[in-house]
Structure 1
Amino acid sequence: MKTKIKTIYKQAERFAELTNKAIVSGNISRAKKLLNIAENLLVSGSKETKEVISTVYIYSVSTFMEIRHCSISNLFPKTLKAEYVKQINAISA
């Protein structure tokens, strides 16, 4: 039986894990679909959803991709990429 995911943060972590697994397995079309779902949530979700996608999902997926030396610019949709760049600039400032 599946364990219930109780918080939006846990859901975002799980969503990031699914994206990362798709990348590792070479299923780039699935990874892009998942990234596009995250993009839609970031653009049209509630304030809480946008915050979670920004802080949990983007951080997890981008960190994973950097460790694996994947090109983020090729996979991230426009808004996700802009949020990623914003986070990177905030860290280096």
Structure 2
Amino acid sequence: MQSNFKTVITSGPLVLVDFYADWCGPCKVLAPILKEVKQDLGDMIKIVKIDVDKNQKISNRYQIRGVPTLLLFQNGTLVWRQSGILQKNDLIKIIQSYTP
């Protein structure tokens, strides 16, 4: 998964990674928000979900201590991260601030 992850975060100009867990209540709240963000932004953003329980190496590498944690990569470089739930409009504003 490690080499796949590198491929994923460089697969688009903007890639949002959602570190989540199946047992996490706030993660379940965030899931439909991320769907709406993807619908609104379309090809501008790629959204990837990473289960922290199944991908502990990657979670440790990025020092994920709580879920949900969102990481935004621009051309493979980490440019923003935040833990917790964000509202759709706030998340869209953050993503758009990294678009040319």
Bigger strand share: 2
Higher helix residue share: 1
Task: Tell me if TM exceeds 0.5.
Answer: no
Task: Compute the TM-score of the two structures, normalised by the length of structure 1.
Answer: 0.32
Give the TM-score, by structure 2 length.
0.31
The structure showing larger relative contact order (alpha-carbon pairs under 8 Å, at least 6 residues apart) is 2
